Amino acid sequence: MMKVDIEKCIGCGLCVKDCFPGDIKMVSDKAKIRNIACFKCGHCIAVCPANAISTDEYNMDEIKEYSKEKFDIDPENLLNFIKFRRSIRQFKTIDVAKDKLEAIIEAGRFTQTGANAQDVSYTVVRENLAEIKELTYETLNHIGEQILSNPSPENQAYTRYAKMWINMYKKYKENPVENDKLFCNAPAIIITTAFSDVNAALASSNMELMANSLTLGTFFSGFFVRAASANPEIRDIVGIPEGKHIVTCMTVGYPDVQYKRSVPRKAAEVSWK
């Protein structure tokens, strides 16, 4: 429940103005939250100049007061940071400490979600990565064989991938360390699951930026997501909650490659109306 401390409330009405579901009214020059339509976005807590609003549903201790020095990012630096980020497919054989993985998840946790659903869950795999990897390779190999043995028009588009997956599996079996094209020997993966794909994808993007700022490298494994959607055994091993589905799988490790510059891209397709 959202609560207003009447003693602190100065009756400025900023919370009323910023409350998207219109759940706050002014009563006798004090803000009153009905807690009916409220979807607990916390805007009222953030906007109040008197710090008069709190909730018993979230941890209030983690709230930070704004400071320009700590909260602002120079736009040129931000854009350069985005331009310089790369998918990393060469990792050092160094483990990633738990606090670093927690910091990455924190970036996901504070990413916006539709209707403030906060429905994204995170599964960090380190211990049984080998088992999951093996099962994923087997599954991709199986999907590949199925696609090649049934050249339907729908499957035609995936022929290239089918051949790639079969080849990846073969090479992996020959030398699992040298030829790991699935996770590229990353020491950890973080799987996001959600009710909404958009929510988990947005969270993942912020998580990647956070990982980069921690000098870690990542790439998203679409192959893992493809395999997990085809083989429920993978979902079981990873322990995906009922109703949620796997949206992204992010490998995490320390890069064993250094890029000297950014890459070129297609011009943006933009229409101005």
Ligand X SMILES: Cc1cc2nc3c(=O)[nH]c(=O)nc-3n(C[C@H](O)[C@H](O)[C@H](O)COP(=O)(O)O)c2cc1C
Q: Which residues bind ligand X (CB under 6 A)?
A: 86-87, 89, 219-223
- For ligand X, the closer of residues 87 and 128 by Cβ is 87
Residue 104 near residue 207, CB atoms below 8 Å: yes
Structure tokens at 144: 């590949």
- For ligand X, the closer of residues 19 and 182 by Cβ is 182
CB of 69 to ligand X, least distance (A): 31
Q: Which of 224, 223, 220 is nearest to 201 (CA)?
A: 220
CB of 97 to ligand X, least distance (A): 24
Task: Give the rounded distance of the alpha carbon of 273 from its chain centre.
Answer: 32
Alpha-carbon radius of gyration of the chain: 23
The phi and psi torsions of 191 (rounded to 5 degrees) equal: -105, 130
CA distances from 196 to 69, 206, 231, 247 (A): 34, 16, 20, 9
CB of 189 to ligand X, least distance (A): 11
CB of 127 to ligand X, least distance (A): 22
Residue 5 near residue 55, CB atoms below 8 Å: no
- For ligand X, the closer of residues 58 and 84 by Cβ is 84
- Residues near 234 by beta carbon (within 8 Å), at least 6 away in sequence: 132, 135, 136, 139, 227, 228
- For ligand X, the closer of residues 41 and 252 by Cβ is 252
CB of 132 to ligand X, least distance (A): 14
- For ligand X, the closer of residues 86 and 244 by Cβ is 86
